[in-house]
Structure 1
Amino acid sequence: MTAMVLHRPGTPLIAETRPVPDPGPGEIRVRVEACAVCRTDLHVVDGELPGGQLPVVPGHEIVGRVEALGTGVTTPAIGTRVGIPWLGHTCGHCAYCLEGHENLCDTPAFTGFTRDGGFATHVVADAAYAFALEGFDDPVAAAPMMCAGLIGWRALRMAGEGRRIGLYGFGAAAHLIAQVLNWQGREVYAFTRAGDNAAQAHAMKLGATWAGGSEEAPPTLLDAAIIFAPVGALVPLALRAVRKGGRVVCGGIHMSDIPSFPYDILWEERELISVANLTRADAVEFLALAPKAGVKADTVTYPLAQANQALDDLRNGRFQGAAVLLP
């Protein structure tokens, strides 16, 4: 098999030839059809997330076909198309798992971070954390659903049922969740880097009510805002943009420091919360909803060997939607 491997944070991935892995008990081996490139992959490669394994194969928005089953596995069956997300395993017995909050598990495993991921031709995954992709015929379009879609969906649920929703950072997650919001009959207010006309045009094309720079005030106060960009300075801006009783959700796994801000923009029962990882229930829910809502990922494809280029293009905002690697 071929894999793009990170040996040291801050250095390019290296192409390696490895033996095709055998799945262990409870695991499956998947031949990768497509793996989307997530901003979390950038955080892993750039060394912004502590606690990962090295060397590691990044990638956690994986779509492929089940090729082999480990002992004890009966489903998904060989040949099934599955999606493999960021959450790769949980203990099942800590207080968080027992309370239905497996996303907060004390001893989790994460695909492409603490276990090898999908920037490769093959990947081994825990069978209980792989999802059959019914109704997803295009692996390229399905790949971004496995994190941009899933974490976006969890963030949206945490944002509440308000009508006017702001999305800060109009990238892979926001462009999918904007489509869900449109389907739900809600209004999207898209915030981009100042002067990023392409991203603003992309948002308007996808049905946004308004699009502008992140430092601009929206034309009306918002019911809630989701911050997908890893920029702490957006938190005070988003708090100023929501109404009394509004909520600001930080949707990323990493963010730069949040600057100090006056208490009065948090006062009046505004809320500031974060999203951590996802649960399998989130995946089941979103993967059933996305086809009904007609959610379509805008993608730019790269050969697996060009993973470093895809990461750099994501880092510098050179495309709209999501990058997808093809083995």
Structure 2
Amino acid sequence: MRAMRFHGKGIPLRLEWVPVPTPGPRQVLLRVHACGLCRTDLHIVDAELTDPKLPLIPGHQIVATVEAMGDGVEGFAPGDRVGVPWLGSTCNECRNCRSGRENLCEKARFTGYHIDGGFAEYAVADYRFCFPIPAGYPDRQAAPLLCAGLIGYRCLRMAGDAEHLGLYGFGAAAHILVQVARWQGRKVYAFTRPGDVKGQEFARAMGADWAGGSADLPPEPLDAAVIFAPDGALVPAALRATAKGGTVVCGGIHMSEIPAFPYELLWGERVVRSVANLTRADGEEFLALAPQVPVRTEVAAFALEEANEALNALRNGAFNGAAVIVVRDTD
């Protein structure tokens, strides 16, 4: 099969021919249709996440059909369309797993990081960590739901019942989350890079009540803010815009150093917290919710062999919404 593989920092992904994987116990062999591109993929190839398997097939927002099954697979059959997220396996035994916090499992393994992912024509995955894809979503529109959507949804849950919600960094996750938040009756304030008029127009078109630069203050104090951009300087900026008792949620897996800020910004029972990974319960809840909204994803499509160009486009903010690697065009 064809696969785009990562061999180490500073080396572009290589299009290579590799054997089609064989499913082991509790694994499904998947024929990949599409795989969403995520900022986490950039953190991996830029070596900001430092423990990938090498060589590695990246990609963790996989939409595929089941081709074959290993022993012990239940609930799926050949031809079923499934989605594969970032969380690839857990130990199911540690304190975190037993308490419903499998996203914090110390032995967790992640798709497209520890496990070969979806920048390839085939992949294998543990069936227990796969989700049925909601009907009505074409492959390329479904792919961003599997990380941008799931992480955004978990961030929204951590934001509580905030009526006035700020979103810092209006990319793949925020363009999904704004739709869910507005459907829930919240007011949404979008923050982009200063001067990014195009991004602010896109945010308003997706439902934001207001859009401005990351250094701006919104017209009303925020009850909560979610930071998706990996810029630590946004933490004090978000605190400055957040009312007493509010929460600032850091939704990324990696962020640059947070600069010192005066205690006054945190005082007043404000909270700063992170969101790590996802649970399978998050996936089940969000994928049931998405068709009700209904969530609409804006997608820039790239061919498999264009994965490096897609990564550069993401790095440079060259598109609105989400990027998707189309492996098998069925839409």
Could you tell me the TM-score, scaled by structure 2's length?
0.98
Q: Which amino acid aligns with 2:74?
A: T
- Indicate the residue corresponding to 1:313 in structure 2: 313
1:151 counterpart SS class: helix
Summarize the alignment of residues 164-203 of structure 1 with structure 2, pairs less than 5 Å apart: 164-203=164-203
2:149 counterpart SS class: helix
Is contact 1:136-1:142 (8 Å) kept? no
268-277 or 7-16, which deviates more: 7-16
Tell me how far 1:75 sits from its aligned partner.
2.3
Summarize the alignment of residues 1-327 of structure 1 with structure 2, pairs less than 5 Å apart: 1-327=1-327
- Deviations along 1:37-59, one digit per CA (max 9) or x if unpaired, are 00000001110012221111000
**Paired residues, what number?**
327
CA distance in 2, matches of 1:9, 1:15: 16
CA distance in 2, matches of 1:306, 1:68: 28
CA distance in 1, matches of 2:206, 2:134: 25
Q: Which amino acid aligns with 1:312?
A: N
Is contact 2:227-2:249 (8 Å) kept? yes
Q: Which amino acid aligns with 1:24?
A: G
Q: Which amino acid aligns with 2:2?
A: T
Tell me how far 1:136 sits from its aligned partner.
4.0
Q: Which amino acid aligns with 1:175?
A: H
Could you tell me the TM-score, scaled by structure 1's length?
0.99
CA distance in 1, matches of 2:37, 2:158: 24
Is contact 2:158-2:249 (8 Å) kept? yes
Tell me how far 1:206 sits from its aligned partner.
1.1
Tell me how far 1:19 sits from its aligned partner.
1.4
Is contact 1:102-1:279 (8 Å) kept? yes
2:248 counterpart SS class: strand
1:293 counterpart SS class: coil
Aligned residues with identical type, % of pairs: 58
Tell me how far 1:78 sits from its aligned partner.
1.0
* CA RMSD between the two structures: 0.7
CA pair 137-209 structure 1, distance change in 2 beyond 3 A: closer
Q: Which amino acid aligns with 2:14?
A: I
Tell me how far 1:11 sits from its aligned partner.
1.7
2:239 counterpart SS class: helix
2:29 counterpart SS class: strand
